[in-house]
Amino acid sequence: MGKGIPITVAHGDGIGPEIMEATLRILEAAGAPLDIERIDIGEKVYLAGNTAGIEPQAWDSLRRTKVFLKAPITTPQGGGFKSLNVTVRKTLGLYANVRPCVAYDPFVRTKHPGMDVVIIRENEEDLYAGIEYRQTADVTQCLKIITRPGCENIVRYAFEYARRNNRKKVTCFTKDNIMKITDGLFHRVFDEIAALYPDIENEHWIVDIGAAKLADTPEVFDVVVMPNLYGDILSDVAAQVAGSVGLAGSANIGKHVAMFEAIHGSAPRRAGQNLANPSGLLLGAVMMLVHLGLNEQASHVHNAWLRTIEDGVHTYDIFKEGVSTEKVGTREFADAVIERLGQEPRQLKPARYAAADDTTAPPEPKPAPKPVKTLVGVDVSLEWTGGTPDDLGALVSRANGDGLELKLITSRGIKVWPTYAPETLLSGYWRCRFTTGSPDATVTHQQVINLLQRFRDMNLDFLKTEHLYHFDGAPGYSMGQGE
């Protein structure tokens, strides 16, 4: 291909090599100036003893080219193999997952003919930070991490994506009526950044009703941005209801490197038979061309693909009597797309990737002033099975002193002391909140250490502490349920 833009390509496992070959052939025929560096990932790398499924030298290529076109891989059965996608995403800081979910009615079966939604999912934080603990025989915990820079990156990305792709609206899904601090931060940052994009409509939905609406009436959504867990679930729901699971591509975007792929897996049972549909990987590759600024080639490939679908040239997975005109294999499908380069769809909406307007730099949010942080108390969690919550309250109150007093005990977040409802399920894991009694008095680390020393002297089995801070006088912790 000559002096082109360097990209890293992995052919993957199962149907991977066939669909990659078809995809690369189409890109070449469209005149995309690419220089390909090939790396090995997947099954044989895993089975050679590399638990991450990627060869160490492959990272050099990824860091050099900064663009990764990846075919699906097979994760070997059995324990000890780490998810390659998670490793790549975490190592390279790919914070945004972008998944367009489009209906191609009447050419591909769908429940929602008008659907054209892009799900933008935060990819690094939330409950997926992987910080979990088993704290007693019966009690486990997973930490939900949401940071301001993490929210700013993903929300900014969503609005920039909308602007670049001529989208009209960005919707945010959170559950901030319950998780007021973590999801509350995501929602607040969304509102702050939305205000910098007055040309784009914005709205927020609570994720439960938002998800129901997305499954029922997806036509009302355009770009939807959300934290990691909701995005993981709803991007699959959205692809499924669009009818495009086998056709969808996705992008994982970082500040330095970006990865493009199909959303489906390696379909081992279809491998090597010239049966697989290369469309998901091809549409991932179209996103890659746009990322590289090759807008003209991206439009060409995308429109030739739409025309192929419209002309009824279909692989087995989307073939339908009466709609399809020709059942083709992977290679013939690629040939059909190549024949149609330069053509546009007649009925489906053509793709138009405009040249990036470099003069419109993303608007910068005003940096928020750093709030004054004051330590006002501490939660000490302990395991104890010696009696009722009243017994525990009386016992733990004996640790009062040195300015700190027991204010509250919760079990599973529900208040059980000083008063409790007999119906409350108790777990043997208790969170004891100590404060000074005066809202603004500052607690010192030494007071916390002294408190833990008294716990130790009383043989109380404390498991962890959590500091209670005020930020500019506002509590940075949740109240106990029923407090």
264 touches ligand NAD by CB under 6 A: yes
123 touches ligand NAD by CB under 6 A: no
Nearest-Å Rg of the Cα atoms of the chain is 27
Could you give the string, one character per residue 216-255, with x where binding to ligand NAD holds by CB under 6 A and - elsewhere?
------------------------------x---------
What b/e readout covers 65-97, taking b as 16+ CB neighbours within 10 angstroms? bbbbbbbbbbbeeeeebeebbeebbeebebbbb
- Residues 7-66 within binding reach of ligand NAD (CB under 6 A): 15, 19
Please tell me the distance from the alpha carbon of residue 332 to that of residue 480, in angstroms, as a whole number: 63
Burial class (CB in 10 A: 0-12, 13-18, 19+), 236: middle
Please tell me the distance from the alpha carbon of residue 412 to that of residue 404, in angstroms, as a whole number: 23
Position among 33, 184, 265, 476 found at the interface with ligand NAD (CB under 6 A): 265
Which single residue brings its beta carbon nearest to ligand NAD? 265
Per DSSP, the three-state class of 235 is: helix
97 touches ligand NAD by CB under 6 A: no
152 touches ligand NAD by CB under 6 A: no
Identify which of residues 73 and 223 has a Cβ nearer to ligand NAD in the complex. 73
Identify which of residues 74 and 435 has a Cβ nearer to ligand NAD in the complex. 74
Please tell me the distance from the alpha carbon of residue 359 to that of residue 374, in angstroms, as a whole number: 43
Q: DSSP class of residue 41?
A: B
Number of residues that bind ligand NAD (CB under 6 A): 20
Position among 53, 72, 218, 249 found at the interface with ligand NAD (CB under 6 A): 72
277 touches ligand NAD by CB under 6 A: yes
Please tell me the distance from the alpha carbon of residue 377 to that of residue 405, in angstroms, as a whole number: 9
Q: Name the minimum Å distance from CB 265 to ligand NAD.
A: 2
Position among 146, 189, 239, 267 found at the interface with ligand NAD (CB under 6 A): 267
Contact region for ligand NAD (CB under 6 A) — 72-80, 131-139, 169-177, 379-387? Answer: 72-80
Please tell me the distance from the alpha carbon of residue 128 to that of residue 130, in angstroms, as a whole number: 5
Position among 317, 339, 390, 402 found at the interface with ligand NAD (CB under 6 A): 317
284 touches ligand NAD by CB under 6 A: no
Bridge partners for 115 per DSSP = none
Please tell me the distance from the alpha carbon of residue 24 to that of residue 297, in angstroms, as a whole number: 13
CA distances from 353 to 30, 280, 294, 346, 426 (A): 15, 18, 9, 18, 58
Identify which of residues 150 and 280 has a Cβ nearer to ligand NAD in the complex. 280
Amino acid letter for position 468: L
Q: Name the minimum Å distance from CB 408 to ligand NAD.
A: 46
Position among 23, 65, 74, 410 found at the interface with ligand NAD (CB under 6 A): 74
Identify which of residues 6 and 76 has a Cβ nearer to ligand NAD in the complex. 76
Q: What does the binding site for ligand NAD look like in residue numbers (CB under 6 A)?
A: 15, 19, 72-75, 85, 246, 261, 264-270, 276-277, 280, 317
